[in-house]
A and B are shown apart, each in its own frame.
Chain A
């Protein structure tokens, strides 16, 4: 089977989608590494699944949770691990509208 090629642009696109920052060397290193991993996962392409329908695990509408509101966590507990809070809210540097 033909090996799937990975380009550096592809790696950059994935890094952006992942919200991850890499040095140029790290990005370069991903190219062969990804090609190797893809060689492994590309094996699924060999398998004929044309007659297979994906089954969803499901439950009946009547089995769903009833619409009953319960107490929430206290505000201070919600904010417990927050790196920055103000006025009972999570806080980030001012964003443009």
Chain B
């Protein structure tokens, strides 16, 4: 259910520019089952690769015996770390400038780590070959707990990193430690809380996979794959393999969910490339579900200690946060290189206070590498959870309504651009307006009255708020790069003579609807109908260079490039129109897809007429054609925000949490397609519900991943998902060409603390201050038992 809000439009529905709920160009193929995913691709002579994985979380490899596997008819090759070592390919760099094994030569570091690869004529034979490879392991002690990894005398997990003794990868801090300490010491009220944001998995329905196709005659490597960042993959592959970059083509297909998990380079990709180079045929590798859940990069796993200072009446003065980040055996986080803890220092949130200090320490353990930005734009989910929980704890502690306390601490609209104590400059916002709308939509005051009455009768009902600020659109090149590649993005537009448009973008779509929304940006800027515009992406031989789709950066960065490229075309069109109308370019004005002479609106040329002239009647001295390229380097990040309110009822006999209502008011700046934005928010809210109540990767004391199937790794289905109620405010970004901010991750970031706050709100009067997510029925039931209120 959505509150229909008037989204301003400047174009007709037929043109379908910004603000129109244009139906998605992608959907005809998806709803007909005609999408094409990597596993649908079959090449002539294609072989299969499957991977031998370690049963141990930490062990020495004493030997690998492939003889039985090689005797199986159809098994062609078994690749080991020793084979790769000869070519120097047994290690590869991670996106965080650490090192990751492609295959181990002597030690395995986590359960399900790749140990060897089998190449065979079909998928089943490859699996039989995997079962026949005998690996002789000598188990080593396992470190699962990051706090134990940091203890003096703990076993050093990465002896190869002499620069990183004691399993400590890095220390990162932001803000003013001394000023924050002083502010906390002098604060009338101080609240502190430990919380764990557990390790979770992106769990995209399509697992990872690729086909490496080496054409020895042409010297061409084509990597067909499912990736959120094909150009970055091409460059990394060129650097790792030594193949010339112009002879590498990375090509993506429809993507069955990315969410950050398809940004990193996994060993399977390198193995498929090595196998294809070795045998000279296409080699396909597709993960199965358990491999995907156990071995791919995870997200989160932050152990946070937060302390907040405030005046007696609840004006926040200071925040200090200490965090241990469990990165597994290598730091493979897909964070910008200057930000090892991502944008975690956006942790001051939507609130105006002077002093903050944040520190994060990264730690090695015997777990898979990570962590990826799982729909969280670089650690913002962890930050938002911490600040929104702390604000609620403060409110409850001093007996003030959490909505009122937020209203009194919000950064006010006139304070933007607002400089935070950790150095960010928020572009725009009206936080009070969004919270007020959410409170009206849900009937906040009535709910508080109902809660008080129910509490009298012993019923447990809670109301939770989350007034989050996101930080997306990475990013400005002076601050943002991954492996040195600056985080600009790009668009190339060609207008054909008949007024049809081909545009290629540097970002990948994996469900966001780029084929539609990027066409709408061009429609808005140039007046071509959306139906006449084709958007292409995901083929590095044709698309302009871009850093890919993650961290809600497509619209803020590539969307801006698309608007800027359109404006370059419009400027050339002005000169063409001036030629056609025999007028001075400065005397023309642009309205509704045409240039007309000021004061003589009937003397005009449509963009289609101008496009035709660009190829048939261009003036002497002007280049023919009508095309433009833009590489956009954003001047700042964008800061979408919102206020969510969740109402829960807790079943006293079972500890079950029922989400009765959930209102989500989002502000993502100017809106390109309201229907797609609503869809993004629906999906994002469900992905926020998941870690709040269900998802967690757990390990036993030997490092075994206990969440290797969807039986044990719980994802919410339609049954668990409440009916989301959406509302909107629009506060444009002042620095973005079309005033848009990005929305893909807002709901995933904002939802978990609203749910957690609602559950704690229901139980605070019993003495409950915090429950770590996921808040499962057994956790709640144990609390109800302990407090003597279970029935």
Mutual binders A and B = no
A residues contacting B by CB (< 8 A) are none
